[in-house]
Structure 1
Amino acid sequence: MPLKVGSVDVLQSSLPPPEQDDKYDNAHHSVTVLKKGHRKNQESAPFQTDTVFEKDVQFTLRDGVHIRADIFRPANDAEKVPALVAWSPYGKTGRGFFCLDLVPGRVGVPKSRLSGYEKFEAPDPAEWTARGYAVVNVDIRGSWDSEGDLFWWGIAEGKDGYDVVEELARLPWCNEAVAFVGNSWLGISQWFIAAERPPHLKCIAPFEGASDIYREIICRGGVPCKAFLRFLAQQNFGRGKQENLVSMIEKNSLLNDYWADKRANVSNINVPIYAVASYSTGLHTFGSFRGYTEAPTKHKWLRVHATQEWHDLYQQETNDELQQFLDRYTKGKDNSWELTPRVRVSILRYNKEPIINHVFPAWPIPATKNEQLYLCPNEMLLNVPPSAESQVSYKSDVPFMQMDSDPEELKFEYTFRDAVYLVGNAQATLYMSCLEHDDFDVCVQLRKIDRNGKVLQNINIPSKDSGIQDNDVERINSLVYLGPSGYLRASHRALDSETSILNFPEHDYTEQRKVKPGTIVRLDIGLWQTGMAFEGGEGLMLKISGHSMTLAEFPSLRGNESMENFGTHHVHVGGSTASYLTIPLVTT
């Protein structure tokens, strides 16, 4: 039966069989005791306690489909333990395409820190069994040897997660408490699963995860962004089919039932949340903040770190703090976790060490002052608009590589007199036109400038961890953060009041309103959340172009993205078309 979501027929593609992965180890149930000190290989971290490794445990979903998981749990059966679920299609236990070796320097996480039994982006069983937890590495529906077809998030995946939570809670070693932990897909899925409210789900720890796939990943601002998801889909294995999100956005880029299903109903989440976010991801920043902000639970915490999600996940202090949270809500320990500040935000200084865990009373930050800076024809940003109308222009259809060196990018600069923090969402309000086409894609970005006028880059992984000097770091998004970005297709300029928030206008993606060539239209473009520190004499740069200025996620993706632009874009400034930038400032 063809897959259908609401009124929309879903396009699917066949998956390559698991045997094509060189780390595939067949599907058969087995139980092994890994003794304390056991190492997968000489480079790996040892297990710190005797651990039962149960491979290919089957779970039955409500429609009769069977999926598989590997379970690691303390060998001491005297005490029942909570289950920490790692949920994704990337492979159960150290197999699959994705691993830290894909990134130079392994994002500062040496092989000796991990056991090699960890699922990609998930807690390490050797670490967590010693802390008194079971780690459950799930191959989700349709992946590897799990039956069915692979869902890419949505309500259906949330229901699958519900079923696994409830079956886990009934296992004899489990204390009937289940939690989810992990990055990326493992974080995204938590918003959907928690929204289904499985009774034995006690808390979630989404360590960076988008919560609206359409608006945040594949069609930001109504601009289809296909390269990364196409790459991601090519790395999956299974015995059936998977949703083809790229074909779906190519078939119809408008918001419909299918894409609406991929916005998590976080307002239905009622369990404690320990949400982690960063600025360094081009995928999860906005969704992490949205999930935290919109979830109505009273027991929620937000920590914004200064590095990169995989690096942060495996730090000792991260594990220690995560255990405090989990101990409180899966074991009922009275450990004063509730005294942890509700909002801690790291602020990047780029040319100095970041400010870590700055405590704020809430998010968004209550004392924020929004300041407007007006674009001027001399490439400056000023506090007052130019009186005369004029325009500046760029060619919109040049090739681009996303290496921070592409041509045809307008640059407007502002110098701060005093020290200040820019924390939150900025917004660009631009009056623009194009003579050659009836639609156009616009990209904006903020950058930091030092006192000498140098445009700075933030190195995400400390060199003491990566062993790589800053000048030698590969310029990819996981390793280098440039600044927050925003996108908008002009035909989607109409606002959507229901999903818009302060300084981040969202738009009506259900229809397009084409632009008569040469007509000046107002574009309200929100930029993702950021935290940037400026000293007196340092500067801010606003960049505008017809192409993405964020670094590519992987080197192989450079030059693979495209925009539907033609001709020259004109940015109108001054007079009745005074384009401006709104920035959220917090005094130091």
Structure 2
Amino acid sequence: MTLSIAGFEVSLAPTMRPEDSAASQSAPFRPSKTELPQGFQRTAKSASFPVTTIFEQDVAIPMRDGVKLYCDIFRPKGKSNIPAILIWSPYGKGGNGPHGLHMIEGRFGVPEERLSGFEKFEGLDPADWVGHDYAVLNVDLRGCWNSEGTIPWLGSQDGRDGYDAIEYVAQTEWCSGKVALAGNSWLAMSQWFIAAEQPPSLAAFAPWEGANDFYRDTLCRGGTPYPYQRFWKVLESSMVGRGQVEAITEMLNRFPLYNDYWEDKRARLHRVKAPCYVLASYSTSLHTSGSIGGFNALGCETKWLRVHPKQEWSDLYSEESTQDLRRFFDYFTKNLQNGWQKTPRVRVSLLPYNEPPIENKPFSAYPVPQTVYQKLYLTEGGELSPQPPSSASTLSYAADFVPTQPDHNPEELQFHYQFQKPTWLLGYSKVVLHVSASLPQDLDVFVQLRKMDRSGVILQHMNVSVEQLSPPKTSPEEVSNSCFLKYLGPTGALRATHAGTKISSADPNAWPEYRHDKKEAVLAADEVRRLDVPIWPAGMVFQPGESLVLKVAGHYMSMMEFELLNDHLGLPNKGRHTLHLGQDDCSHLVVPLVEPF
């Protein structure tokens, strides 16, 4: 089997077979139609169905090229002319795969009793929706499980398949002709591509936390594949199907620079016409920038953004979020005049770290119109100063130092700014660094923003409170060092040889963006190069006496999704890196500040 995308022959990797024990709870392929009676529970602990539900299993959906995809359909008995919600992913059709809330201790704060067990991982629970006269379709995308073909890693093929599925479902005897898309993470990323194909029956979609440009947003942030190539390799290796999967990490090894293959992994958001409800959070290390950037790039005017303070699945399955999403879908798929159109265009959360989060602050746009950009200069004394240093100086760190755990690593430079009045840091930051290396190399630099309390302690935010974990914990120290559960602060990265691909902007405060389509020469020993490093969006609350901390290092400084990925293997840097401060080399940080209200 061969696969070609944009003229590039694609590397393929094997998948686990559905029958393999590693594929977890494999459900047998069994096209059938049954009734789940009102009150039905999959297990004694599962949430029950509120109405009698028609459950159609392994229903074939034909694609334009003859390939068949398979889905499970849940719809209320005796109801017709109802909208459908399409849940689209590679993770199995409902509680039957290796991916799920069981992957980490505490179930991300989602108790087993909250869900029916028929939900796709990261998808809506059918039991939450059939009682409100919706059908939910859990689709295994191309090549996954028993669906035919080769598994695509997002891209135009996935978009075309989604178009075909939507139009097929819209013509079923029970459907009103209006179809919605929903889901989180991969399920959100795929929605961008499907909506860009402009399916006529797509009434609304809700990409809740999904990158829209796979290379730039997540796989190779700042042009450096470390460390997220490792995460995506783990996911690639856990795909289940009867064929092969696009080997995305091998393609990055073959094509480390942006080209037409990677362009196929970038959704054409300017083409989107359907109403959209975008969700973002700070906790994800994969999707924050892509979610907010996707909202801004959408071609439709009927769009909303909410930035929440929790772990993504904790928010996805909360009753409040489910009700909010239902209002959105009711308005656009059922024409219910429920006041949704009065919802603020942008709602954001902010993290005090040492107090409960601030949620749902309304704004008209993101970045918010009230933003004032503050330039802070890095000084030899470790301060962030509004005034540039009067003389030149340098600071250095061991770039090849292998860190052991967050906040206990000596080879991380720190710079501090203490606030004198209540302040919000809200939006995109950037740092301009003038850097050299002791040895010739393709230098990577990593930065992070943190909050320090009045006593000098650098803080962490729990994305799910220890009491909400299932079973609960008594302190954060008992919780694994996973970015799913602990958020440190926004990060940024840049590979020095990609600095020349920066997209020009007349706005001095513009967030740096890069084409990543060519390389400059590798740094010679002691050669100084300017690096404009983009830092992901943040929402941080500071009180008088509390401080903003900028960290600079030769390694990634946040936690990975799983502790086994925290060992920092594959670090490319070597020798010492030096920051040049003052005079002609005024390294500085630019932060978006907002007066609290």
Fold shared per TM-score above 0.5: yes
- 2:47 maps to 45
- Whether contact under 8 Å (1:490, 1:523) holds in the other structure is yes
Provide the rounded CA distance (Å) in 2 between the counterparts of 1:499 and 1:150.
38
CA separation in 2, counterparts of 1:500 and 1:405? 40
Residue number among 393, 398, 404 corresponding to 2:396 in the alignment: 393
Matches within 5 A, 1:450-489: 450-466=453-469, 467-468=472-473, 469-489=475-495
SS at the partner of 1:506?
coil
8 Å CA contact retained: 2:24, 2:98:
no
Bigger mean CA offset, 435-444 vs 393-402: 393-402
> How far 1:498 moved relative to its partner?
7.0
User: Is the 8 Å Cα contact of residues 439 and 524 (structure 2) preserved in structure 1?
Assistant: no
Q: Matched residues in 2 for 1:383 and 1:298: separation? A: 38
Deviation at 1:260, TM superposition (A): 1.0
How many Å apart are 1:129 and its aligned residue? 0.6
Partner AA of 1:265 in structure 2: R
1:435 deviation in Å? 2.4
Helix, strand or coil at the partner of 1:126: helix
Question: Could you tell me how far apart the structure 2 residues matched to 1:435 and 1:25 are?
Answer: 57
Secondary structure of the residue aligned to 2:49 is coil
- Maintained 8 Å contact 1:572/1:579: yes
| Alpha-carbon separation, structure 1, partners of 2:304 and 2:340 | 10
Structure 2 residue matching 1:312: 3-state secondary structure? helix
- Of 263, 268, 273, which aligns to 2:266? 263
Aligned to 1:148: 149
Superposition pairs for residues 229-248 of structure 1, below 5 Å? 229-248=232-251
In 2, are the aligned partners of 1:494 and 1:508 still within 8 Å (CA)?
Answer: no
Task: With the length of structure 2 as denominator, give the TM-score of the two structures.
Answer: 0.96
Distance 1:29 1:97 in 2: 22
Which one of 28, 32, 38 corresponds to residue 30 of structure 2?
Answer: 28
1:392-429: per-residue Cα shift (whole Å, max 9, x none)? 00011122356443441111111011110000011000
Moved more, 407-416 or 109-118: 407-416
SS of structure 2 residue aligned to 1:130: helix
Structure 2 unaligned segments of length 5 or more: list them: none
- Alpha-carbon distance, 1:564 to partner: 1.5
Amino acid at match of 2:11: L
What per-residue deviation string (whole Å, max 9, x for no partner) do you get for residues 245-269 of structure 1?
Answer: 1111111210011111111111111
| Deviation string, structure 1 residues 505-561 (Cα, Å, up to 9, x no partner) | 112311110222211110000100010000011000000011111101112212154
Any conservation in 2 of the 1:74–1:134 contact (CA below 8 Å)?
Answer: yes
Which residue of the partner structure matches residue 374 of structure 1? 377
- 1:585 alignment counterpart: 593
* Structure 2 match to 1:365: 368
Contact 2:281 2:288 survives alignment (8 Å)? yes
Tell me whether 1:282 sits opposite 2:285 in the alignment. yes
* Structure 2 residue aligned with 1:491: 497
CA distance in 1 between counterparts of 2:359 and 2:409 reads 32
1:522 pairs, out of 530, 540, 544, with 530
Measured on the aligned residues, the alpha-carbon RMSD in Å equals 1.4
Q: Which amino acid aligns with 2:528?
A: I
Report whether the alignment pairs 1:195 with 2:196.
Answer: yes
CA distance in 1, matches of 2:162, 2:406: 38
* Secondary structure of residue in 2 paired with 1:18: coil
- Unaligned regions of 5+ residues in structure 1, if any? none
Q: For 2:390 and 2:358, how far apart are their aligned partners in 1? A: 39
Q: CA deviation at 1:180?
A: 0.7
Q: Is 2:132 the partner of 1:114?
A: no
Distance of 2:388 and 2:568 partners within structure 1: 38
Trace 1:277-356 onto structure 2 (pairs within 5 A): 277-356=280-359
Closer/same/farther in 2, CA of residues 144 and 404 from structure 1, 3 Å limit: farther
Partner amino acid, structure 2, of 1:11: S
CA distance in 1 between partners of 2:205 and 2:258 (Å): 28
* 3-state SS in 1 of match to 2:121: coil
Residue 573 (1) aligns with residue 581 (2): yes
Q: Between Structure 1 and Structure 2, how many residues are aligned?
A: 587
Q: Confirm or deny: 8 A CA contact 1:36 1:50 kept in the other structure.
A: yes
For residues 498 and 310 of structure 1, what CA distance do their matches in structure 2 show?
37
Measure, in 2, the Cα distance between the counterparts of 1:255 and 1:507: 10
Bigger Cα displacement from structure 2, 144-153 vs 248-257 = 248-257
**How many Å separate the matches in 2 of 1:236 and 1:500?**
44
In structure 2, C-alpha distance between the alignment counterparts of 1:113 and 1:533, rounded to whole Å: 32
Determine if contact 1:437/1:567 at 8 Å carries over to the other structure: no
- CA contact under 8 A between 1:161 and 1:193: conserved in structure 2? yes
What are the superposed Cα offsets for residues 103-135 of structure 1, whole Å, 9 maximum, x if unpaired? 221111100010011110010011111121111
Query: Aligned equivalents of 2:333 and 2:205: distance in 1?
Result: 10
Partner of 2:514: 507
Task: Work out which of the residue numbers 537, 541, 545 in structure 1 matches 2:545.
Answer: 537
Distance 1:406 1:135 in 2: 48
Q: How does 1:85-100 map to 2 (within 5 A)?
A: 85-100=86-101
Aligned CA distance change for structure 1 residues 168 and 506 (closer, same or farther; 3 Å): same
Q: What amino acid maps onto 2:187 in structure 1? A: L
* Aligned ranges 1:427-438 → 2 under 5 Å: 427-438=430-441
The answer to whether the Cα contact below 8 Å between 1:500 and 1:506 also exists between their aligned partners in 2 is no
Q: Deviations over 1:118-165 (max 9, x none)?
A: 110010011111121111101100000000000000111100000000
Correspondence list, 1:218-229, <5 A? 218-224=219-225, 225-229=228-232
